[in-house]
Structure 1
Amino acid sequence: MPKHRAVAEALDRAGDQPLDRALAVLEFVLDQRGPVAASIVAEATGLPPATVHRIILQLEARSLLKRALGSKKLLPGARLVALGTRILSAAFVADETHALLVALASKLQEHCHVGTISGGEVCYVDSARSARRSGLLFEPGGRAPIYCTSIGKVYLAGLPQAEFQQVVAAIDFKAFTPKTIVTAARLADDIAQVRARGWAATDEEFTPGVVGCAVPLRNTKGEFVAGLGVSLPAALCRYEEVGKFIPDLLETASQIEATLAT
């Protein structure tokens, strides 16, 4: 395997110091879609296997890497995932991106929010409150299940089928309301619709009396970074009508994606 380009660039910076080697290992593991063997990391980075082994042990000790369940292969650790969420949150609350969210909430007169995926849950990293106080506002730092939130469904819809099945198999379904989807089969049917139309919606599935919809936010590679959603009282907007918010969500999503790319 040729040396990974991002890895090579990391090692070239600052003269290949110990920190650069650790960053190179982290970058390579993060770039993989699943668990990766230490031998592959060594081959990709061009570092001696003994050096990679030592770095991995140090990163594991700091919860920046972990072993896949039942395997010696490597995955991003809990601390690295949490750090990534905090970095993303800092990016979204920057003046320009937050201003776009505030403008959207003002235009729609509803609560709008941005959420990413952390630890198998939706983690809300930014929100904007409309003048109307009713409805549901997801405060930054708040968490919610992926299977009964619009942003969670958008994330699920973007997964390759094999990864989608793995994620769904690990879900511990819980009924938050009478309308919560609580089976893998029903969720798969719902996500198929999300894939077909490109956006997701929820019908009082997490909180009684609240409906919502969301669109994905993607990086320059087309990969899911976060979701942009709106929540509103079902008494003021029927579930069948939430699609009317999608054009404005898509427009703001495009503007936010542009700021994140710079």
Structure 2
Amino acid sequence: MQSVPTLKSDPVEVNGDTPTMRLFALLEVIASKDQFFSLQGLTEETRIPKPTLHRMLQQLESAGLLERSVDGRFYGTGVRLRKLAENLLLNDISHGARHAVLRHLVAEVGESCNLTALSGSEVVYLDRVETAAPLRFYLHPGSRVPVHCSASGKVFLSEMTPSQRQRLLAHAPLEAYTAKTLTHIDQLEQEIRQIKRQGFALDNEEFLPGLLCVATLVPSASGRSNLCVAVQAPIMRLTADKALHLLPALQRAAEALSRIETDAAPTTQASA
């Protein structure tokens, strides 16, 4: 994996009253990246002296917050930092309000619904409300599903650029979970183009036999979103055609969830 050259621009400020807060500010810069980065590239971006920055990166790496590529030339987010991000999403203060939206959606469509986020090359379930129907697939919050054969995962992939998808899928082989799993990158790219046009994705028995799922993105006022809402049911109750009729309810839930995320976002106060 190679880093993309940094365009010359104003330096990113890494401020803090203490060394700990400066490390935290540096993590904020790193967390905004969707690719590995080099020491030289980050030095040019932040204008922090290279010896100082190298020492800071070593501290973060030793804490498990960063990790290096195989050749040692590039850095990326570490397992500990990704786990922290997942726990923040799973235990977000907006959980109660989001859960209420899912409960309302389940009552409206009659099937299990979930809220998901992208975590590395997998989709993690942040919240889920089950249908009362006795026949159902149970996937609890914290469950993980592959990005290439889940409805939410394909929506997340459609939000990326081709190069971003290439980097992600290079480390996530297109494993065949069922006879319907898309295992060739050309097939997946063709479907992703359709998802971008239509605004939703289907998982028609691509991950589990007998399971159909339809998902759509939760809009974000700040730009790219990392939240999807989905309806999931056995194919004996939910066919691909029927799933299309559930889209308006799913999209209303996505808008309601988007408002919750917007209202929960901190406001920035101008300095005096």
Is TM-score (shorter-chain normalized) higher than 0.5? Answer: yes
Task: Please tell me the residue identity of whatever aligns with 1:48.
Answer: P
Confirm or deny: 8 A CA contact 1:36 1:73 kept in the other structure: yes
Q: 1:75 Cα deviation (Å)? A: 1.4
Structure 1: stretches of 5+ with no match in the other structure: none
Structure 2 equivalent of residue 177 of structure 1: 178
Matched, 1:214 2:222: no
Q: Does 1:90 align with 2:91?
A: yes
Question: Which one-letter code corresponds to 1:248 in the other structure?
Answer: A
1:192 maps to what in 2?
193
Q: What is aligned with 1:163?
A: 164
Aligned pairs, number: 255
Counterpart in the other structure of 2:261: 260
How far the C-alpha of 1:46 sits from its partner, in A, is 4.2
Q: Which runs of 5+ in 2 are unaligned?
A: 1-8, 265-272
Give, as a single letter, the amino acid of the residue that structure 1 aligns with 2:31: L
* 2:230 alignment partner in structure 1: 229
Counterpart position of 2:119: 118
Q: Structure 1 residue 219: deviation in Å?
A: 3.1
Q: 1:146 maps to what in 2?
A: 147
Measure, in 2, the Cα distance between the counterparts of 1:160 and 1:248. 28
Distance 1:148 1:104 in 2: 23
Q: Larger helix proportion, structure 1 or 2?
A: 1
Distance in structure 1 (CA, Å) of the matches to 2:219 and 2:64: 27
Aligned counterparts of 1:36 and 1:103: Cα–Cα separation in 2: 43
For 2:11, give the aligned amino acid. Answer: K
Partner of 1:250: 251
Percent same amino acid among aligned pairs?
27
User: How much is the aligned-residue C-alpha RMSD, in angstroms?
Assistant: 1.9
1:2 maps to 10
Does the C-alpha gap of structure 1 residues 179 and 222 become closer, same or farther in structure 2, counting only changes over 3 Å?
Answer: same
Deviation at 1:259, TM superposition (A): 1.2
When structure 1 is superposed on structure 2, of 201-210 and 36-45 the one drifting more is 36-45
The corresponding residue for 2:64 is: 63
Contact 1:198 1:215 in 2 (8 A): yes
Query: Cα offset for 1:40?
Result: 3.5
Any conservation in 1 of the 2:94–2:260 contact (CA below 8 Å)?
no
Aligned to 1:131: 132
Q: Please report the TM-score for the alignment, with normalisation by the length of structure 1.
A: 0.90
TM-score (norm 2): 0.87
Q: Indicate the larger mover: 227-236 or 84-93.
A: 84-93
